[in-house]
Amino acid sequence: MPRWLKANGLSIAFGVIFIASLVGQAISGHTDFNHDQHIHHGDPISLWHYVTSAVFWVDVMENWQSEYLQFTLYIFVTVWLLQQGSNESKPPGDEGPETDEQQLLGKHTKAESPGWAKAGGLRTRIYSNSLLLVMGTIWLLSWFAQSVTGRVIFNAEQLDHQSSPVSWATYITTSDFWNRTLQNWQSEFLAVGSMAILTVYLRQRGSPESKPVGSPHSTTGAEG
Amino acid sequence: MRSVAVVFVVYLVMIVAGLAYAITLGLQGH
Protein backbone atom coordinates (compact mmCIF):
# COMPACT_ATOMS: atom_id res chain seq x y z
CA MET A 1 0.00 0.00 0.00
CA PRO A 2 1.45 3.45 -0.93
CA ARG A 3 2.47 5.60 2.03
CA TRP A 4 0.01 8.40 1.17
CA LEU A 5 -2.88 5.90 1.16
CA LYS A 6 -1.90 4.40 4.50
CA ALA A 7 -1.51 7.88 6.03
CA ASN A 8 -5.04 8.89 4.91
CA GLY A 9 -6.89 5.56 5.05
CA LEU A 10 -9.70 6.74 7.32
CA SER A 11 -10.57 9.93 5.38
CA ILE A 12 -10.21 8.29 1.96
CA ALA A 13 -12.28 5.22 2.93
CA PHE A 14 -15.11 7.42 4.21
CA GLY A 15 -14.80 9.74 1.19
CA VAL A 16 -15.18 6.76 -1.14
CA ILE A 17 -18.23 5.30 0.64
CA PHE A 18 -19.73 8.82 0.79
CA ILE A 19 -19.51 9.17 -3.01
CA ALA A 20 -20.78 5.59 -3.53
CA SER A 21 -23.78 6.22 -1.24
CA LEU A 22 -24.54 9.56 -2.93
CA VAL A 23 -24.53 7.85 -6.34
CA GLY A 24 -26.75 5.08 -4.93
CA GLN A 25 -29.12 7.69 -3.48
CA ALA A 26 -29.26 9.46 -6.87
CA ILE A 27 -30.09 6.23 -8.75
CA SER A 28 -32.67 4.89 -6.29
CA GLY A 29 -34.15 8.37 -5.72
CA HIS A 30 -34.50 8.85 -9.49
CA THR A 31 -36.24 5.48 -9.90
CA ASP A 32 -38.54 6.24 -6.98
CA PHE A 33 -39.34 9.71 -8.36
CA ASN A 34 -40.22 8.34 -11.80
CA HIS A 35 -42.34 5.60 -10.22
CA ASP A 36 -44.27 8.32 -8.43
CA GLN A 37 -44.61 10.27 -11.68
CA HIS A 38 -45.92 7.12 -13.41
CA ILE A 39 -48.66 6.39 -10.85
CA HIS A 40 -49.72 10.05 -10.93
CA HIS A 41 -49.75 10.04 -14.76
CA GLY A 42 -46.80 12.47 -14.95
CA ASP A 43 -43.83 12.44 -17.34
CA PRO A 44 -40.62 10.70 -16.26
CA ILE A 45 -37.46 12.82 -15.94
CA SER A 46 -33.85 11.99 -16.79
CA LEU A 47 -31.27 11.08 -14.13
CA TRP A 48 -29.37 14.32 -14.90
CA HIS A 49 -32.56 16.36 -14.46
CA TYR A 50 -33.18 14.59 -11.14
CA VAL A 51 -29.68 15.16 -9.69
CA THR A 52 -29.81 18.85 -10.63
CA SER A 53 -33.22 19.36 -9.01
CA ALA A 54 -34.24 20.51 -5.53
CA VAL A 55 -35.99 17.15 -5.01
CA PHE A 56 -32.60 15.42 -4.81
CA TRP A 57 -30.73 18.20 -3.01
CA VAL A 58 -33.26 18.76 -0.23
CA ASP A 59 -32.79 15.13 0.80
CA VAL A 60 -28.99 15.49 0.67
CA MET A 61 -29.01 18.72 2.65
CA GLU A 62 -31.42 17.63 5.38
CA ASN A 63 -29.08 14.75 6.17
CA TRP A 64 -25.93 16.90 6.00
CA GLN A 65 -27.30 19.50 8.38
CA SER A 66 -28.24 16.95 11.02
CA GLU A 67 -24.81 15.29 10.89
CA TYR A 68 -22.98 18.60 11.21
CA LEU A 69 -25.32 19.70 14.01
CA GLN A 70 -24.54 16.45 15.81
CA PHE A 71 -20.78 17.03 15.68
CA THR A 72 -21.03 20.77 16.37
CA LEU A 73 -23.12 20.11 19.45
CA TYR A 74 -20.92 17.26 20.59
CA ILE A 75 -17.73 19.31 20.25
CA PHE A 76 -19.33 22.16 22.23
CA VAL A 77 -21.18 20.17 24.88
CA THR A 78 -18.25 17.86 25.71
CA VAL A 79 -16.22 20.93 26.76
CA TRP A 80 -18.62 21.40 29.66
CA LEU A 81 -20.63 18.21 30.32
CA LEU A 82 -19.20 14.90 31.53
CA GLN A 83 -20.36 11.29 31.50
CA GLN A 84 -18.74 9.29 34.26
CA GLY A 85 -17.08 6.14 32.89
CA SER A 86 -17.43 7.17 29.22
CA ASN A 87 -14.65 7.09 26.63
CA GLU A 88 -16.36 10.09 25.01
CA SER A 89 -16.00 12.27 28.10
CA LYS A 90 -13.21 14.12 29.84
CA PRO A 91 -12.46 13.05 33.41
CA PRO A 92 -14.19 14.94 36.27
CA GLY A 93 -12.39 18.18 37.11
CA ASP A 94 -11.51 18.99 33.50
CA GLU A 95 -14.80 20.75 32.71
CA GLY A 96 -14.42 23.95 30.70
CA PRO A 97 -11.74 25.21 28.30
CA GLU A 98 -8.85 23.85 30.47
CA THR A 99 -5.53 25.49 31.36
CA ASP A 100 -2.92 26.82 28.93
CA GLU A 101 -0.61 24.04 30.13
CA GLN A 102 -3.16 21.34 29.18
CA GLN A 103 -3.85 23.06 25.85
CA LEU A 104 -0.16 23.76 25.03
CA LEU A 105 -0.76 27.51 24.80
CA GLY A 106 1.12 30.63 25.94
CA LYS A 107 4.53 29.66 27.35
CA HIS A 108 3.61 25.97 26.90
CA THR A 109 3.60 26.03 23.09
CA LYS A 110 6.08 23.79 21.32
CA ALA A 111 8.33 24.52 18.35
CA GLU A 112 5.97 22.54 16.06
CA SER A 113 2.76 24.12 17.47
CA PRO A 114 0.53 25.70 14.77
CA GLY A 115 1.39 29.34 13.99
CA TRP A 116 -1.98 30.66 15.17
CA ALA A 117 -1.61 28.75 18.46
CA LYS A 118 1.70 30.54 19.07
CA ALA A 119 0.52 33.96 17.82
CA GLY A 120 -1.52 34.85 20.91
CA GLY A 121 -4.40 37.37 21.06
CA LEU A 122 -7.34 37.19 18.67
CA ARG A 123 -5.69 34.73 16.28
CA THR A 124 -5.17 32.17 19.05
CA ARG A 125 -8.73 32.71 20.31
CA ILE A 126 -10.13 32.08 16.83
CA TYR A 127 -7.87 29.06 16.30
CA SER A 128 -8.84 27.70 19.74
CA ASN A 129 -12.44 27.44 18.51
CA SER A 130 -11.81 26.81 14.80
CA LEU A 131 -13.21 23.26 14.73
CA LEU A 132 -16.47 24.37 16.34
CA LEU A 133 -16.66 27.46 14.10
CA VAL A 134 -16.19 25.54 10.85
CA MET A 135 -18.47 22.61 11.78
CA GLY A 136 -21.11 25.07 13.04
CA THR A 137 -20.90 27.15 9.86
CA ILE A 138 -21.33 24.03 7.70
CA TRP A 139 -24.34 23.05 9.85
CA LEU A 140 -26.03 26.45 9.44
CA LEU A 141 -25.32 26.64 5.70
CA SER A 142 -26.62 23.10 5.06
CA TRP A 143 -29.72 23.82 7.16
CA PHE A 144 -30.26 26.99 5.10
CA ALA A 145 -29.72 24.95 1.90
CA GLN A 146 -32.35 22.47 3.16
CA SER A 147 -34.78 25.35 3.73
CA VAL A 148 -34.39 26.91 0.26
CA THR A 149 -34.51 23.60 -1.64
CA GLY A 150 -37.36 22.37 0.58
CA ARG A 151 -39.32 25.50 -0.22
CA VAL A 152 -38.99 24.84 -3.98
CA ILE A 153 -40.54 21.36 -3.57
CA PHE A 154 -43.19 22.65 -1.15
CA ASN A 155 -44.22 25.42 -3.55
CA ALA A 156 -44.31 23.04 -6.54
CA GLU A 157 -46.77 20.88 -4.59
CA GLN A 158 -48.78 23.94 -3.56
CA LEU A 159 -49.11 24.96 -7.23
CA ASP A 160 -50.02 21.37 -8.24
CA HIS A 161 -52.92 21.55 -5.80
CA GLN A 162 -54.04 25.06 -6.78
CA SER A 163 -52.66 26.61 -3.57
CA SER A 164 -50.49 29.72 -3.28
CA PRO A 165 -46.71 29.44 -3.01
CA VAL A 166 -45.17 30.56 0.30
CA SER A 167 -42.26 32.86 1.10
CA TRP A 168 -39.05 31.50 2.67
CA ALA A 169 -39.99 33.09 6.01
CA THR A 170 -43.32 31.26 5.93
CA TYR A 171 -41.78 27.99 4.76
CA ILE A 172 -39.47 27.75 7.77
CA THR A 173 -42.53 27.79 10.04
CA THR A 174 -44.26 24.93 8.17
CA SER A 175 -44.61 21.38 9.44
CA ASP A 176 -42.90 20.21 6.22
CA PHE A 177 -39.67 22.03 7.15
CA TRP A 178 -39.73 20.93 10.80
CA ASN A 179 -40.69 17.35 9.98
CA ARG A 180 -37.69 17.09 7.63
CA THR A 181 -35.47 18.71 10.27
CA LEU A 182 -36.54 16.88 13.41
CA GLN A 183 -36.77 13.41 11.89
CA ASN A 184 -33.02 13.72 11.26
CA TRP A 185 -32.14 15.37 14.56
CA GLN A 186 -33.81 12.73 16.73
CA SER A 187 -31.72 9.91 15.30
CA GLU A 188 -28.47 11.89 15.68
CA PHE A 189 -29.15 12.72 19.31
CA LEU A 190 -30.04 9.11 20.13
CA ALA A 191 -26.85 7.84 18.45
CA VAL A 192 -24.64 10.37 20.25
CA GLY A 193 -26.25 9.70 23.62
CA SER A 194 -25.80 5.97 22.98
CA MET A 195 -22.09 6.41 22.24
CA ALA A 196 -21.66 8.43 25.45
CA ILE A 197 -23.30 5.82 27.68
CA LEU A 198 -22.53 2.50 25.87
CA THR A 199 -18.76 3.12 25.97
CA VAL A 200 -18.95 3.00 29.78
CA TYR A 201 -19.62 -0.77 29.83
CA LEU A 202 -18.88 -1.98 26.28
CA ARG A 203 -15.52 -2.22 24.46
CA GLN A 204 -14.08 -2.60 20.97
CA ARG A 205 -10.53 -3.85 21.09
CA GLY A 206 -8.25 -1.64 18.99
CA SER A 207 -10.69 1.24 18.44
CA PRO A 208 -9.89 4.74 19.72
CA GLU A 209 -13.67 5.13 20.12
CA SER A 210 -13.48 2.62 22.99
CA LYS A 211 -11.60 2.38 26.25
CA PRO A 212 -8.99 -0.40 26.41
CA VAL A 213 -10.77 -3.74 26.94
CA GLY A 214 -9.36 -4.20 30.42
CA SER A 215 -10.06 -0.62 31.50
CA PRO A 216 -12.39 -0.40 34.54
CA HIS A 217 -16.00 0.74 33.95
CA SER A 218 -15.36 3.69 36.27
CA THR A 219 -12.50 5.09 34.16
CA THR A 220 -13.67 8.24 32.38
CA GLY A 221 -12.02 9.30 29.10
CA ALA A 222 -9.44 7.63 26.93
CA GLU A 223 -6.55 8.90 29.03
CA GLY A 224 -8.49 8.72 32.31
CA MET B 1 1.95 15.58 5.95
CA ARG B 2 1.64 16.89 2.38
CA SER B 3 -0.86 14.18 1.36
CA VAL B 4 -2.84 14.82 4.57
CA ALA B 5 -3.14 18.51 3.64
CA VAL B 6 -4.36 17.49 0.16
CA VAL B 7 -7.12 15.28 1.63
CA PHE B 8 -8.07 18.13 4.02
CA VAL B 9 -8.49 20.52 1.08
CA VAL B 10 -10.39 17.93 -1.00
CA TYR B 11 -12.92 17.48 1.84
CA LEU B 12 -13.42 21.23 2.26
CA VAL B 13 -13.82 21.75 -1.50
CA MET B 14 -16.34 18.89 -1.68
CA ILE B 15 -18.40 20.33 1.21
CA VAL B 16 -18.30 23.93 -0.07
CA ALA B 17 -19.21 22.82 -3.62
CA GLY B 18 -22.21 20.82 -2.35
CA LEU B 19 -23.44 23.67 -0.17
CA ALA B 20 -22.94 26.30 -2.87
CA TYR B 21 -24.75 24.23 -5.50
CA ALA B 22 -27.71 23.39 -3.24
CA ILE B 23 -28.10 27.00 -2.07
CA THR B 24 -27.90 28.33 -5.64
CA LEU B 25 -30.46 25.76 -6.81
CA GLY B 26 -32.82 26.62 -3.96
CA LEU B 27 -32.51 30.38 -4.43
CA GLN B 28 -33.08 30.08 -8.18
CA GLY B 29 -36.22 28.05 -7.50
CA HIS B 30 -35.37 24.93 -9.54
Contact A60 B22 (CB under 8 A): yes
Which residues in chain A have Cβ-Cβ distances shorter than 8 Å to B4?
Answer: 7-8
Q: Are residues A66 and A47 in the same domain?
A: no
Chain B residues in contact with A12 (beta carbon < 8 A): 7
pLDDT band at residue B1 under the 50/70/90 scheme: confident
Q: How many domains does chain A have?
A: 2
Closest CA to A18 of A52, A67, A53: A67
Cα-Cα-Cα-Cα torsion A193, A194, A198, A199, nearest 10 degrees, comes to: -60
C-beta atoms of B15 and A138 within 8 A:
yes
Residues A110 and A45 in one domain: no
> Containing domain of residue A158, as a range?
60-224
Q: What is the pLDDT of residue A222?
A: 54
Residues A47 and A119 in one domain: no
Residues of A (99-128) whose Cβ lies below 8 Å from B:
none
Identity (one letter) of the amino acid at A3?
R
Domain boundaries along the sequence of chain B: 1-30
Q: Do A13 and A94 share a domain, yes or no?
A: no
pLDDT of res. A30: 98
The number of helix segments (H) and strand segments (E) in chain A equals: 9, 0
pLDDT at B29: 87
Do both A78 and A16 map to the same domain? no
Measured distance CA(A196)–CA(A211) in Å, rounded: 12
The answer on A83 and A31 residing in a single domain is no
Is there a single domain that holds both residue A171 and residue A77?
yes
Whether the Cβ atoms of residue A56 and residue A50 lie closer than 8 Å to each other: yes
Query: Same domain for A80 and A178?
Result: yes
Q: What pLDDT does A1 receive?
A: 87
At A110 the pLDDT is 97
* A22 and A74 share one domain: no
- pLDDT < 50: residue spans in chain A: 224
Residue contacts between A and B (CB atoms, under 8 Å) = 58
Q: Model pTM?
A: 0.94
Look at B25 and A64 and tell me if their CB atoms are within 8 Å: no
**Are residue A108 and residue A199 in the same domain, yes or no?**
yes
B19 closest CB neighbour out of A54, A141, A150? A141
CB contact under 8 A, B25 and A57: yes
Looking at residue A215, the DSSP 8-state letter turns out to be S
Q: Does the beta carbon of B11 lie under 8 angstroms from any beta carbon of chain A?
A: yes
* A157 and A78 assigned to the same domain: yes
Residue A111 C-alpha, separation from nearest chain B C-alpha, in angstroms: 17
- Same domain, yes or no, for A12 and A123? no
Judged by a CB distance cut-off of 8 A, whether residue B17 touches chain A is: no
Q: From A52, A71, A86, give the residue that closes a domain.
A: A52
